[in-house]
Amino acid sequence: MSSTSSERVESLVKWLHENAYWREDLRIESSTFGGLGVFLPNELEMAEDPLLLRIPKSNLLSPKNASIYNLLVDYEPENDEVDLAGDMYGVIISVIYEVALGSKSPWYAYLQSIDIAGSSVPVCLWSEDDKQNLKNSEIDMKDLLSDAELIDFYIEACSFASAQKLVVPIPEVLELDKIAFGTDLDRQEVVDTIKNQYGDKLTAFGRYISAVISRAFTIDDFHGLALVPAADLFNHIQPSMVEGKIQGNENIHFVCDGNVCDICGDLESNVNEEEDEGDDDDDEEEEEDEENSDEEDDKEEKIEEITLDYIKKMEEEMKKENESEEDSDTETMQDPEEVSTLTLSEDDDHPELAAELAESSKCCDVLLVRPPEKQYSYEVFNSYGNELSNPYLLQKYGFIVDDNVNDYCLLSVQMFRYIKDIKSKMSKDKAKQFDEKLDWYDKYGFEIVNGLILEENRKNKSHDHEHEHDHDHRCCDDDGCEDGCCGEEEEDIPESWQLSVRVYYNGDIPKQVYPLLNLLDLSYNDFKRNFKSAKTERKREKVVSEFLMAREEKTTESYNKLIKSWAKDRLARYPELVASPHRELIESLVIQEKKILAKFIDKH
């Protein structure tokens, strides 16, 4: 495109004024934090209206709002694993098709502001040299180097595009004319053709993925993920660690009602309401019940005759009800949280937009929660997630940060090698018995250990030396809140025992490590006698507490020694870096990981 960046910003702002509320004095300019950023003229009084952006959900670029949505829904997948209408896949495909429409897309002005060709290439499509350099890194440990899933998605996307070609032209990035989609294809052959002949298209597709994934917000149960014009312009600021706790530094929060009917998208579902209505008679009775309970005071009995007096009285009552309804309407309108919408609805140029913006439940908001600072030239920052470690930042947003407090280094590989060593010195039967312990731990032990540790942490809250990821993770932040964590403090529990052996950013290791090592040491006789016979949750808790949680100082020391050897082993396994396209970034990533491992080694 020939338009300059400032022209693009101008048309984006124009789009925003036609399709959303965008605070007048916000400026979109290039930022030292990368690309464009959003700035305020100066430090704001927080008493001011915090609303920076409000956009009706109907104006988001979500799969359900995209022109091709009916085609996505009707499409019968070649590969059942890939649901093209679903969340992330759906947004990506929708964006590809909207971009292909050029100026005919209602989101043209917005899409122009995204530098898709300049977006990062997903790590899993990096060169073999890059991948070689990433061996032993956390990216490798988290299995983020495999391109299988991405290629499956690509094949399905191309197959969809091919199936629609009589109806909608195939977007260039999805056009693989040497592959006969719709016929019986051998997956491996297709993969080979793509890699050998369409590498550039695959990379371009990868850039679309990055561009979209790094920008998408979780909206609600109906829209799922969507692009929110302008909300994605805010740059990321990383959290800090204050007294062992992660603290967000963002200036804004992204807010919207997530709990809507997933079928119709409304807060109050028509659909589910109707669902209960199978039997008309029931419904009628319910209505009557309501009616009667409303009129509890003047218990209306079933009347035998409607008189003119009755009608008169009824009309008066209905008039009163109407008035009180209007009253309550005005009351809700004056709800302090809604104040800003009142000023919005005065926009006479766009009355339909004003009406949409007045219904806050059908909009997404970007709210200022913290004034921007002079040291950043009053740039307004978002946090893309205060819990994201570098590997996930890289995967989702294409960048890493220095000193990421969420980083940690897994020692799972070393642990499994250790276990393998132990078992290799055992007879077949003994090794089987050893596995029994791990199976039990998998089934019951790990969860119990987590429970006991949580309890202990709660007790020790006052003097807490432990690393504790107490995320200031707000509901409906960037990634949404799937687990109802709002307001609740969240402790970092490793997702599985296999991944529990790790070193955190500050050089600590999870408390979960020691019980696991105790288990490995536990004699089979002790295990058989105490653990296998524990049939109730309480008994199992008791044995875990007695045999796995408790240990002597000396044991802790020897365990730390063991882990130290694992950390050293991992350190030694980083490959010599060769020249590769992302060598610099990889080096920075690796240095940070090495520092973390070194912290544990130095401590013990």
Partner 1 sequence: MPSVCAAPNCGKETESNLKCPICLKKGVSNVFCDQSCFRTSWNTHKSIHTAEDGSDDYNPFPTFSYTGDLRPHYPLTPRRPIPKHIKLPDYAKTGKPISEIKNDRIGRIPVHTPKEIEKIRKVAKLSREILDAAGKLVKPGITTEDIDALIHKECLKRNCYPSPLNYYNFPKSVCTSVNEVICHGIPDKYVLQDGDIVNVDVSIYYLGFHSDLNETYYVGDKAKANPDVVRLVETTREALDLAIAAVKPGLAFRDLGNIIEEHATKNGLSVVKTYCGHGTGELFHCQPNVPHYAKNKAIGIAKPGMVFTIEPMLNLGSYRDIQWPDNWTATTLDGKFSAQFEHMMLVTEDGVEVLTARFDDSPGGAVPRI
**Residues whose CB falls within 8 Å of the CB of residue 18, separated by 6 or more in sequence, listed in order:** 350, 353
Kindly state whether residue 304 participates in binding partner 1, applying the rule CB under 8 A.
yes
Piece of the chain touching partner 1 by CB under 8 A; list 65-73, 393-401, 461-469, 482-490: 65-73
d(C-alpha 532, C-alpha 509), whole Å: 29
Residue with tokens 């035998």: 304
The smaller minimum CB distance to partner 1, of residues 107 and 126, is found at 107
> Which residue(s) pair with 570 in the sheet?
none
Nearer to partner 1, 164 or 235 (CB): 164
Count of residues of this chain found to bind partner 1 when the rule CB under 8 A is applied: 48
Q: Closer to partner 1 at the Cβ: 117 or 263? A: 263
Which residue in 265, 372, 398, 445 binds partner 1 (CB under 8 A)?
Answer: 265
221-226-228-234 Cα dihedral, nearest 10 degrees:
100
Q: Rounded to an integer, what distance in angstroms lies between the CA atom of residue 258 and that of residue 38?
A: 25
Closest CA to 448 of 379, 531, 375, 340: 531
Contact window for partner 1 (CB under 8 A) among 153-161, 262-270, 409-417, 559-567: 262-270
Decide if residue 59 touches partner 1 (CB under 8 A).
yes
Should residue 128 be labelled a site residue for partner 1 when binding is judged by CB under 8 A? no
Sheet bearing 27-30, strands edge to edge? 27-30, 36-39, 379-382, 235-236
Residue number, 44 or 353, with CB nearest to partner 1: 353
Q: Annotate 407-461 with DSSP letters as a single string.
A: -EEE-HHHHHHHHHHHHHTS-HHHHHHHHHHHHHIIIIIHHHHHHHHHHHHHHTG
Interface with partner 1, residue 288, by CB under 8 A: yes
Give the nearest distance from C-beta 465 to partner 1 in angstroms.
53
User: CB–CB of 82/153 below 8 Å?
Assistant: yes
In DSSP terms, 51 is beta-bridged to: 367
Beta-strand pair 379-382/235-236: parallel
> Binding residue for partner 1 (CB under 8 A) from 66, 124, 227, 252?
66
Only segment of 71-79, 191-199, 503-511, 579-587 that touches partner 1 (CB under 8 A): 71-79
CA nearest to 224, candidates 413, 54, 94: 94
Instruction: Give the residue, chosen from 280, 325, 327, 552, that forms a contact with partner 1 under the rule CB under 8 A.
Output: 280
**Least separation in angstroms between CB 294 and partner 1:** 11
CB-neighbour burial class of residue 523 (10 A; exposed 0-12, middle 13-18, buried 19+): exposed
Residue 246's DSSP bridge partners are 241
Angle at 229 between CA 391 and CA 389, to 5 degrees: 10
Least CB distance to partner 1 at residue 171 (A): 13
Nearest to 404 by CA among 280, 504, 497: 504
- Which of 34, 41, 351, 581 is the binder for partner 1 (CB under 8 A)? 351
| Position among 11, 67, 203, 565 found at the interface with partner 1 (CB under 8 A) | 67
Of the two residues 102 and 581, which places its CB atom closer to partner 1 in the complex? 102
If you search the block for the tokens 């967000």, which residue do you land on?
248
Nearer to partner 1, 314 or 485 (CB): 314
31-39, 142-150, 279-287, 588-596 -> range binding partner 1 (CB under 8 A): 279-287
245: three-class secondary structure by DSSP = strand
Using CB under 8 A as the binding rule, whether residue 35 contacts partner 1 is answered as no
Least separation in angstroms between CB 66 and partner 1: 7
The reply on whether position 70 binds partner 1 by CB under 8 A is yes
Which of the stretches 166-174, 393-401, 420-428, 517-525 binds partner 1 when contact is defined by CB under 8 A? 166-174
| Residue 73 contacts residue 160 (beta carbons within 8 Å) | no
Under the binding rule (CB under 8 A), the answer on residue 305 touching partner 1 is yes
Residue selected from 11, 50, 83, 106 as contacting partner 1 according to rule CB under 8 A = 106
Rule CB under 8 A: is residue 294 a binding residue for partner 1? no
- Whole-angstrom Cα distance, residue 478 to residue 219? 9
Nearer to partner 1, 71 or 393 (CB): 71
Q: Which of 13, 68, 230, 590 binds partner 1 (CB under 8 A)?
A: 68
CB of 18 to partner 1, least distance (A): 8
Among the listed residues 570, 567, 552, 576, the one whose alpha carbon sits nearest the alpha carbon of residue 604: 567
Applying CB under 8 A, which of residues 43, 189, 192, 277 lies at the interface with partner 1?
277
Q: Which of 80, 296, 349, 352 binds partner 1 (CB under 8 A)?
A: 352
Instruction: In whole angstroms, give the CA distance from residue 591 to residue 585.
Output: 10
Q: How far apart are CA 164 and CA 75, in angstroms?
A: 9
Query: Which one, 287 or 488, has the nearer CB to partner 1?
Result: 287
Written as six digits, the tokens of 595 are: 């520092």
- Mark out the alpha helices in 75-147 (DSSP H runs): 87-100, 108-111, 128-133, 138-141
Q: Supply 61's token pair.
A: 């670029």
Residue 334 contacts partner 1 per CB under 8 A: no
**Binds partner 1 (CB under 8 A): choice among 46, 263, 267, 578:** 263
Q: Check residue 69 for interaction with partner 1 (CB under 8 A).
A: yes
Residues at the interface with partner 1 (CB under 8 A): 58-59, 64-71, 73-74, 85, 101, 104, 106, 164, 166-168, 263-265, 270-271, 274-275, 277, 280, 284, 287-288, 291, 300, 302-308, 310-311, 314-315, 318, 351-352
